[in-house]
Amino acid sequence: CADIALYRVKEQGRAHYQFYHHSMLQSTPYMMLIETGLRKAINQNEFVVFYQPQVDLCDETINSFEALLRWNSPTLGFVAPNEFIPLAEDTGLILPIGTWVFEEVCRQIKEWYEKGYGYKTVAVNLSTKQFQQSTLVETIEGILKKFNIPPHCLEIEITEGALKDARETISVLKRLKEIGVQISVDDFGTGYSSLSYLKRFPLDCLKIDQSFIAELLTNPTDEAITTTIIHLAQKLNLTVIAEGVEEQEQAQFLKEINCEKAQGYYFSRPLPAHEVEKFFQQ
């Protein structure tokens, strides 16, 4: 049942996984704590953006990053996105939070540029709810102007789920494309979507889901899927990024099968902005 969600509940310092029906969510104490906390978090500066490098497998250079949101709550500690994003979506709080992420990322791109590191590209995850917000394009356009950065420095990551609602989505994506923002499909291959959207949407990049990379070297099906996505991307002139690369052997194999970029713990975990700067000096 689509209404049943899996949520982590903290109990005596240990993590438990439990099933909840949507209607029960708001009534569990942990969820209530999160919701109350989330409402205050923006104003109290509790959100932090971490950046994970995306490595060009050909020459090992790093020119792009994925922005991953972290919530440093005074009462709950560091809360992972998978724990608070679903609730932020249910409560609508994802809209102000999402706008904050765009602001913060563009401010950071500008700061790196002013420090002499050049313009870096940063990908921001967008939830379906943000897509349905009529002011999304204007908001992004306004923020790009405010910080006066080249629009191609900003990339948005959408999941295949967001591509389902075709008509509205195409027009939003086309307008973003007109501005010059780049568009990636996140978790590619996991979303039950028809491949025909590759024809209709103005995309720049496919991100191979980490579930295919985990057993890339031992599972022939995962290898076949990964290789095929890479070929597909090449034929369609799209960039391709493998996610969740944790081992040297995976990186080496991906390079051999002509995967353009990779991202994962093998290269670097997501890091705070000041720690990412060490990659610019190399």
What single string gives the DSSP state of each residue in 23-73? HHHTTSHHHHHHHHHHHHHTTTT-EEEEEEEEEETTT--EEEEEEEEEEEE
- The item of ligand C2E, Mg ion, none sharing an interface with residue 246, based on CB under 5 to 8 Å by kind, is ligand C2E
Phi-psi region at 220: left, alpha or beta (left = phi > 0; alpha = psi -120 to 50): alpha
Least CB distance from residue 210 to Mg ion, whole Å? 6
Residue the block writes with tokens 């086309």: 174
Do the strands 261-262 and 47-56 form a parallel or antiparallel pair, or are they unpaired? Answer: antiparallel
Give the nearer residue to Mg ion in terms of CB position, either 83 or 157.
157
Sites for ligand C2E among residues 74-113 (CB under 6 A): 80-82, 85, 98, 101
Burial of 120 (0-12, 13-18, 19+ CB in 10 A): buried
Q: Which amino acid is present at 219?
A: N
By CB under 6 A, name the one of 31, 38, 68, 273 that touches ligand C2E.
Answer: 68
Least CB distance from residue 115 to Mg ion, whole Å? 26
Binding mask 250-279 for ligand C2E (x = CB under 6 A): --------------xx----x---------
Least CB distance from residue 81 to ligand C2E, whole Å? 3
Of the ranges 108-116, 124-132, 140-148, 272-280, which one interacts with ligand C2E (CB under 6 A)?
Answer: 124-132
Burial of 235 (0-12, 13-18, 19+ CB in 10 A): exposed
> Using CA atoms, how far apart are residues 260 and 57, in angstroms rounded to an integer?
6
Least CB distance from residue 237 to ligand C2E, whole Å? 23
By CB under 6 A, name the one of 62, 69, 158, 206 that touches ligand C2E.
Answer: 69
By CB under 6 A, name the one of 104, 155, 160, 186 that touches ligand C2E.
Answer: 186
Do 32 and 26 touch, CB atoms closer than 8 A?
yes
> Long-range contacts for 90-93 (Cβ within 8 Å, ≥24 apart)?
90/22, 90/25, 91/35, 91/38, 92/129, 93/35, 93/38, 93/39
Least CB distance from residue 187 to ligand C2E, whole Å? 5
* Interface ranges with Mg ion (CB under 5 A): 125, 157, 186-187, 243
Least CB distance from residue 5 to ligand C2E, whole Å? 14
Of the ranges 18-26, 120-128, 177-185, 229-237, which one interacts with ligand C2E (CB under 6 A)?
Answer: 120-128
- Name the site residues for ligand C2E (rule: CB under 6 A): 52, 68-69, 80-82, 85, 98, 101, 125-127, 157, 186-187, 210, 244-246, 264-265, 270
